[in-house]
Amino acid sequence: MSKKIVYPGSFDPVTNGHLDIVKRAANIFDEVIVSVFNNPNKTPVFTMEERVEMLKNSTRELENVKVDSFSGLTTKYIKSIGGDAILRGLRAVSDFEGEFQMASMNKHLDENIETIFLMTDTKYAFLSSSVIKEAAYFDGDIKELVPNFVYHKLRNKFIEKN
């Protein structure tokens, strides 16, 4: 039986930490769907289309990785595409409480969908999209923390604002 896991997130923007999780999951699962979630509680810097484009560009060499987008409940989305599990990355102990709460709610909503956690590589433990955006806004050196394509998108976005 083929196993399909879904990695949902805002990915505003995708970082090398996200990609570390995706690449490692691609070595474990038959299919990894990286799906941009339209979170009504966040105001993204990049549009949904831009985030999907950045992810597609960043994962194009991974044959068993697909990129998608959705809104609504993650469990309903996963069921609609025939997914088996939710992939979540953990950077530090501080992530665990929120992720545990989310995983518990998802299990309540659909007991057949598991949540799988992967620890990020320690070199990315401090990394988040929010930290990247703030550093990029103030012209910080983020070249080694995001794919080159994303780096240029951020530079262009914040040069326009500044």
By annotation, the residues acting in catalysis are 18, 42, 91, 129
φ and ψ of 90, to 5 deg = -120, 130
CA 5 – CA 26 distance, rounded (Å): 9
Do the annotations mark residue 108 as ligand-binding? no
Do the annotations mark residue 90 as ligand-binding? yes
Do the annotations mark residue 152 as ligand-binding? no
- In angstroms, what CA-CA distances link 18 with 21, 80, 94, 146? 5, 24, 17, 9
CA 37 – CA 11 distance, rounded (Å): 8
Do the annotations mark residue 18 as ligand-binding? yes
Do the annotations mark residue 85 as ligand-binding? no
CA 146 – CA 121 distance, rounded (Å): 14
Do the annotations mark residue 83 as ligand-binding? no
Alpha helices in 31-113 (DSSP H): 48-59, 74-80, 93-109
Q: Binding site: which residues?
A: 10-11, 18, 42, 74, 88-91, 99, 124-130
Q: Binding site for substrate: which residues?
A: 10, 42, 74, 88
Q: Binding site for ATP: which residues?
A: 10-11, 18, 89-91, 99, 124-130
